[in-house]
Copies of this chain bind each other. A is one copy, B any other.
């Protein structure tokens, strides 16, 4: 049977209700299943899915690891910023490029301009300050008396919990297990070093084991393996305060001349914009993000390098500080992202365009030592985002946000 015939036959069987759309993979290969779905949707909705069909990744692998009910691929333009100059104390190379995928005109140019300012300033300094992927199941207990006992048990048996959790993984290590009680609900926030993996799956599987130990050793009953104190993909103070994934800081000092030449404004104007907008404005907004647009860089880098883009939510928990120094001769600027969740193995990092982007940064796959690649990626993204902060603050300070968008952002 020819491919076309097979598609026609399957299409008919789906229409007849014999095969369900999402079960097509059981009846044919992933590419053909996608073709059938596109044909069906084209017929039902009138949509021509020709470009969606022109994907460049291996459909079997994608269907196995990344997607169900596959139609094809979404394509997003990818640009690049750099060179990014940074001192990381070891993990990242001193100069690197970072691909960014986005549909927002002016973004890559803005970040790139900031990277030029950073280079002119002699490069940034960046550090991963904490590395802890978390998962926090919630348990039901009889009452607060039992809750107190369970919390005490957790504090006293972290080693046993670690042994149970770590039995499920060759890489991850349990760092902390912190109990939180609300009435008859007990949450335990497990924090792992997941090395070069973003680590959510690793943390989830490991926590499943630890939760079973807790159920065996205490009267607690597991209600949900995630109790939202993790906190994954929701804006949450626990992440902004305690971190999740990598906590990273980057900073740079620019001369007054660099601020004038590259950012077209003065240190004082940038500092005022930062204080009134990023600090006071965010304070008034009841925000957890005291920055200009860190999420823009984080999102574009996540998309380019195969990260989980829903975790841009946590990547926005960032604080930008700016300080005029030396009687105005220099401008100090820093960006600290509390919860940047990145990996260089697993998830979307194996897809071809994403793997190629990771190669541009020089961090594809497992690092040496383990974790070094994800550390480096986190530091590079944070430095690029610092560049984005400087550039947007500069643009705002020189009152040209709207005109910049007019020119570049149609």
Return the chain B residue nearest A223 by Cβ: B276
Question: Could you mark each residue 130-147 of chain A with 1 if its beta carbon is under 8 Å from any beta carbon of chain B, else 0?
Answer: 000000101010011101
Residues of B within 8 A of A74 (CB): 75-78, 99, 101, 303-304, 353-354, 357
Determine whether the beta carbon of A356 is less than 8 Å from that of B52: yes
A261 → B minimal CB distance (Å): 14
A24 to chain B, nearest CB (A): 11
Does A263 sit at the interface, judged by CB under 8 A? no
Q: Of A70, A97, A207, which is in contact with the most chain B CB atoms at under 10 Å from its CB?
A: A97
Interface set, chain A 295-335, CB cutoff 8 A to B: 295-296, 298-300, 303-304, 306, 308-310, 312-313, 316-317, 319, 321, 323, 332, 334-335
Q: Is the CB of A285 within 8 A of B97?
A: no
A148 close to chain B: CB less than 8 A: yes
**Which listed residue (B54, B129, B183) contacts A321, Cβ 8 A?**
B183
Enumerate chain B residues within 8 angstroms of A300, measured Cβ to Cβ. Answer: 309-310
Cβ contacts under 8 Å, A239 to chain B:
285
Whether A76 lies near B303 (C-beta < 8 A) is: yes
Among candidates B89, B109, B182, B409, residue contacting A69 with C-beta atoms closer than 8 Å = B109
Contacts of A272 in B (CB 8 A): 140, 223
A235-B288 contact, Cβ under 8 Å, with A75-B74, A109-B22, A309-B299: yes
Q: Which residues of B contact A75 (CB under 8 A)?
A: 55-57, 73-75, 351-353
Interface presence of A406 (CB below 8 A): yes
Assess the B399–A109 pair: CB atoms within 8 A: no
Chain B CB within 10 Å, residue with most, of A279, A280, A352: A280
Tell me which residues across on chain B come within 8 A of A405, comparing CB atoms. Answer: 201, 204-205
Q: In whole Å, how far is A53's beta carbon from the nearest beta carbon of chain B?
A: 9
Nearest chain B CB to A22 CB, angstrom units: 6
Do B224 and A295 have beta carbons less than 8 Å apart? no
Is A227 part of the binding interface, using a Cβ–Cβ cutoff of 8 Å?
Answer: yes
Chain B minimum-CB-distance residue to A348: B103
Say yes or no: B69 contacts A77, CB within 8 Å.
no
- Bound: A285/B317 CA distance, A: 12
A86 shortest CB reach to chain B, Å: 11
Q: Which 3 A-B pairs have the closest CB atoms?
A: A103-B348, A183-B334, A237-B286
Q: List 14 A-B contacts (CB under 8 A).
A: A69-B109, A75-B352, A103-B347, A104-B348, A129-B147, A182-B280, A223-B272, A227-B281, A228-B277, A235-B289, A236-B287, A236-B289, A241-B241, A295-B313
**Knowing that A44-B97, A235-B288, A286-B286 are A-B contacts, what are 15 other residue pairs whose CB atoms are under 8 Å apart, sorted by A's residue number?**
A45-B360, A46-B362, A50-B356, A70-B77, A73-B77, A73-B78, A180-B284, A181-B249, A228-B285, A231-B287, A233-B296, A237-B241, A282-B283, A283-B290, A300-B310
